[in-house]
């Protein structure tokens, strides 16, 4: 039987606990698991049998979350890890090698730009940043050493929507995987795999959990990429010495990336999600569709009000008819353009700082996707590591404020913005 999204967000991956009958997925707060006998242990360690070995690799609570997110995204499997940043490294790790590169959108979270432009160089990897609205530039940036293309569905901070269909056509022709960060959209607003994504990554810290209580990340494997079509991905297609020459793609087929992510990625990188964090995220996902509907409805009302305010020079919300990305909403995010966007103040940097300080209902925090409405001045905080050119390319200029619209009464949010704008422009 095929179930709807609202049903799957509550039930996918979960069954009543076989030992106690507990209806909610228990928090399996354990490090190790007792093997039936020596042969059982050997089979698990040889990847001949699926089961639990050690909670750095797999845990029953975390496994339910992995299956639930994979189901909601339409993927074959998923790997849960300690943060969204960990998920990005976990996604790249099986694909990359010294001298290889990733082609990435210029419109990314500032921490991702720093991770890709600075930190991954320590592994001998590199990143080429391109405006993903310029399809010819994306094609030109892909070369023989490219092993992945990376973008966000709804880009942080500006809420820009990427044309995933056009980008996936390019990656398909080049024979490289497309990795899509779906944090801001969630699978309720967009399922990137249906638009050609190979892998989908999430910061579960944000909308999936939805209440600002835990950090976590997820990598979803579409199962659609042919890792053996070329010699570009030896981790998938060639014998793995640590498992007596096992070939992941030959052995596990559409689950090759998922098994590699657990058996090697989590084993050696250790970016493990803790079971209590997984439990919080599972509870959050149960109301995902309800929250996203309210986030979208509130964001539209607030964006429309801001667009008409004399102190505001521009609002970037893709749901507005004036947005250059409005035509992508029905195709990429048919249930709405999300709850994240920026607006630009005519009075510049100082007025942005005053606005943030004057807001009372909005929380000034470095997070997004909370039930509470959040605000931050990206240029002085989340994106401050970037150069002026990078700030503008990312949509985080000095006169820009980012808001993550929550699920409160929209009239109260507008009233708070109204008094803060009056204070900031007095």
pLDDT in tens, 141-200: 999 999 999 999 999 989 999 999 999 999 999 999 999 999 999 999 999 999 999 999
Say if pTM beats, i.e. exceeds, 0.75.
Answer: yes
CB 94 within 8 A of CB 70: no
pLDDT at position 178 is: 98
- Span 95-115, average pLDDT: 95
Parallel, antiparallel, or unpaired for β 199-203 and 178-181?
parallel
pLDDT band at 394 (very low <50, low <70, confident <90, very high): confident
The pLDDT of residue 383 is above 90: no
pLDDT at position 326 is: 97
Q: From CA 276, how far away is CA 416, in angstroms rounded?
A: 35
pLDDT at position 393 is: 74
CATH topology for the 5-95+177-284 domain: 3.40.640
Comparing CA positions, the residue from 369, 371, 316 lying closest to residue 341 is: 316
Comparing CA positions, the residue from 74, 335, 68 lying closest to residue 199 is: 74
SS3 call for 298 = helix
pLDDT band at 387 (very low <50, low <70, confident <90, very high): confident
Q: From CA 351, how far away is CA 324, in angstroms rounded?
A: 26
The pLDDT of residue 17 is above 90: no
pLDDT at position 110 is: 86
pLDDT band at 19 (very low <50, low <70, confident <90, very high): confident
CB 227 within 8 A of CB 254: no
The pLDDT of residue 59 is above 90: yes
pLDDT in tens, 291-344: 999 999 999 999 999 999 999 999 999 999 999 999 999 999 999 999 999 999
Whole-number average pLDDT of the chain: 95
pLDDT band at 384 (very low <50, low <70, confident <90, very high): confident
Parallel, antiparallel, or unpaired for β 400-404 and 340-345?
antiparallel
Q: From CA 399, how far away is CA 157, in angstroms rounded?
A: 13
The pLDDT of residue 233 is above 80: yes
Query: Fold identical between 5-95+177-284 and 290-424?
Result: no
The pLDDT of residue 385 is above 80: no
H/E segment holding residue 105: strand 101-105
pLDDT at position 208 is: 98
SS3 call for 210 = coil
CATH topology for the 290-424 domain: 3.90.1150
pLDDT at position 379 is: 81
Helices 288-307, 410-424: inter-axial angle, 10-degree rounding: 40
Higher pLDDT pick, 332 / 383: 332
The pLDDT of residue 221 is above 80: yes
Cβ count within 10 A of residue 272? 20
Measured between alpha carbons, how far is residue 248 from residues 41, 117, 253 in Å? 20, 30, 7
Cα atoms in the Cβ-side hemisphere of radius 13 Å centred on 301: 18
For 292, residues 6+ apart whose C-beta sits below 8 A from its C-beta are 186, 188, 189, 207, 335, 336, 338, 339
Percent of the chain with pLDDT over 90: 91
Strand partners, 403: 341, 375
Q: From CA 222, how far away is CA 78, in angstroms rounded?
A: 9
> What single string gives the DSSP state of each residue in 317-372?
-TTSTTSTTGGGHHHH-TT---SEEEEEETT-HHHHHHHHHH-SSSEE-S--S-SS
pLDDT band at 124 (very low <50, low <70, confident <90, very high): very high
SS3 call for 313 = strand
Q: From CA 355, how far away is CA 380, in angstroms rounded?
A: 14
Cβ count within 10 A of residue 340? 28
Long-range contacts of residues 54-59, Cβ cutoff 8 Å, at least 24 apart = 55/28, 55/30, 55/31, 55/272, 55/275, 56/266, 56/267, 56/270, 56/272, 57/262, 57/263, 57/266, 57/267, 57/272, 58/262, 59/28, 59/30, 59/273, 59/275, 59/278
Could you tell me the residue ranges of all domains in the chain?
5-95+177-284, 290-424
């Amino acid at each position: 039987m095929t179930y709807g999204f609202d049903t799957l967000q509550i039930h996918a991956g979960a069954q009543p606990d076989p030992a106690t009958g507990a209806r909610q997925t228990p928090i399996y707060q354990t490090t190790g698991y007792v093997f039936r006998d020596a042969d059982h242990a050997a089979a698990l360690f040889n990847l001949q049998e699926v089961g639990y070995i050690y909670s750095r690799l797999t845990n029953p609570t975390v496994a339910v979350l992995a299956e639930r997110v994979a189901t909601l995204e339409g993927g074959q499997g998923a790997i849960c890890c300690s943060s969204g940043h960990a998920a990005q490294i976990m996604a790249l790790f099986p694909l990359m090698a010294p001298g290889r590169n990733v082609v990435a959108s210029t419109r990314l979270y500032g921490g991702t730009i720093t991770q890709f432009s600075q930190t991954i160089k320590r592994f001998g990897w590199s990143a080429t940043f391109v405006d993903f609205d310029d399809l010819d530039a994306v094609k030109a940036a892909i070369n023989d050493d490219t092993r992945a293309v990376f973008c966000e569905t709804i880009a942080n901070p500006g809420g820009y929507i990427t044309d995933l269909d056009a980008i996936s056509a390019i990656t398909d022709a080049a024979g490289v995987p497309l990795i899509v960060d779906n944090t801001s959209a969630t699978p309720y607003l967009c399922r990137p795999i249906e638009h050609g994504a190979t892998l989908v990554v999430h910061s579960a810290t944000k909308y999936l959990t939805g209440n600002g209580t835990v950090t976590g990340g997820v990598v979803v494997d579409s199962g659609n990429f042919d890792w053996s079509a070329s010699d570009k991905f030896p981790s998938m297609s060639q014998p793995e010495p640590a498992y007596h020459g096992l070939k992941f793609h030959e052995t596990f087929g559409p689950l090759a990336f998922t098994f590699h992510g657990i058996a090697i990625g989590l084993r050696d990188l250790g970016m493990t999600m803790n079971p209590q964090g997984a439990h919080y995220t599972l509870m959050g996902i149960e109301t995902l569709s309800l929250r996203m509907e309210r986030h979208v409805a509130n964001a539209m009302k607030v964006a429309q009000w801001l667009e008409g305010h004399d102190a505001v020079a521009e609002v970037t919300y893709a749901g507005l008819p004036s947005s250059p990305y409005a035509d992508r909403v029905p195709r990429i995010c048919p249930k709405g353009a999300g709850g994240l966007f920026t607006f630009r103040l005519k009075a510049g940097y100082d007025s942005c700082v005053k606005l943030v300080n004057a807001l009372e209902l909005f929380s000034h925090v470095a997070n997004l996707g909370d039930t509470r409405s959040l605000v931050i001045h990206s240029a002085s905080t989340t994106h401050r590591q970037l150069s002026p050119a990078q700030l503008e390319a990312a949509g985080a200029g000095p006169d820009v404020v980012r808001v993550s619209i929550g699920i409160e009464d929209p009239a109260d949010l507008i009233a708070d913005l109204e008094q803060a704008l009056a204070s900031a422009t007095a």
